[in-house]
């Protein structure tokens, strides 16, 4: 980040990829739920993953790769920009 300004504030926004939960469902788990309205047995799940070359069943939920599980995106923005952006909300 080029330090053009002296003052910065931290901008904190909800992560759009995981909707603030910090977790994403494993894509193959997602497929399993979509294709199977009734729950599968442990063995059926194992077989399902085997089809994709995955021998060990991974956790259903993975930490979001965008926000690293925090549910938020934080970045430094110049204070002047933050003031401009929020000015209408101040009055």
> What does the binding site for Zn ion look like in residue numbers (CB under 5 A)?
15, 17-18, 64, 66-67
Q: Which of 69, 86, 65 is nearest to 11 (CA)?
A: 86
CA 33 – CA 24 distance, rounded (Å): 14
Smallest gap from Cβ 41 to Zn ion, in A, equals: 31
Q: Which of 70, 71, 59 is nearest to 26 (CA)?
A: 59
Smallest gap from Cβ 26 to Zn ion, in A, equals: 15
Smallest gap from Cβ 11 to Zn ion, in A, equals: 15
Q: Between residues 18 and 32, which has the closer beta carbon with respect to Zn ion?
A: 18
């Amino acid at each position: 980040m080029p330090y053009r300004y002296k003052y910065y504030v931290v901008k904190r926004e909800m992560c759009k990829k995981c909707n603030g939960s910090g977790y994403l469902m494993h894509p193959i788990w997602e497929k399993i739920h979509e294709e199977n309205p009734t729950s599968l047995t442990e063995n059926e799940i194992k077989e399902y993953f085997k089809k994709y070359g995955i021998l060990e069943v991974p956790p259903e939920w993975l930490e979001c790769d965008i926000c690293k599980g925090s549910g938020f995106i934080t970045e430094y923005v110049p204070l002047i920009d933050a003031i401009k952006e929020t000015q209408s909300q101040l009055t």
